[in-house]
Amino acid sequence: MARQHIRTDGNAAYDLYRNPAWSNENTAQQLPELPELPEQPAGQRQKEQTVVVRARAEVSVLAVLGCVIVVALLVMVISGYVRLYELTSTHAELTGELNALTSEQTRLEGSYESKLDMEQIEKVAAGELGMHLPTDKQIVYLNMAGEDSAVVYDSDTMDVGSVFHALQNGFRYLVDYIRAYFS
């Protein structure tokens, strides 16, 4: 069977029954002949129109709010890391200073203990300072036979001024705590 030229014009369904693989010869002969398409000149091509579709950009208020919150949280985390780094370096400096002072204290205590001589101390205390060991005559007895008393403040009513004062002190404490944290 000779291969026939099948005209499709970009649509395979146009000549569906003319394809010998899909139909028998009787069906293909019963179909009317399709008109010939005019040939396009070789130099001219049809201009294809391209349509560019752009999405309209709308910014959601929630998206902007979310971005602002994320940026604020990032700034807080970064400032926390900076504060942690500063405190770590300060801790390292203070630890080094503490070690140096501890070694100096050990050296000074050794020097002090080597210079202590009890006989010399007793001689200076008795001779130059006029000191002597305590005797029984130096003991003084106190008479505390008086009655014990205590005053207890008992109030059933609560003063509005004291409550206001307590709230004010609590607020001051909170403000001082926040200032100390960020400084």
With 90 as the cut, is the pLDDT of residue 164 above it? Answer: no
Specify if 17 maps to a domain.
no
Mean pLDDT for 59-87 is 94
Specify if 33 maps to a domain.
no
With 50 as the cut, is the pLDDT of residue 15 above it? Answer: yes
Specify if 169 maps to a domain.
no
Domain residues for the domain of 103 are 61-130
What is the CB neighbour count within 10 angstroms for residue 23? 15
- pLDDT of the residue at 56: 76
When mean pLDDT is compared across 94-108, 140-154, 159-173, the lowest value belongs to: 140-154
With 90 as the cut, is the pLDDT of residue 132 above it? Answer: no
Distance CA 68, CA 75 (A): 11
Mean pLDDT for 112-120 is 82
Number of structural domains, the chain?
1
Q: State the pLDDT confidence band at 111, using cuts at 50, 70 and 90.
A: confident
Range with top average pLDDT, 68-82, 107-121, 163-177: 68-82
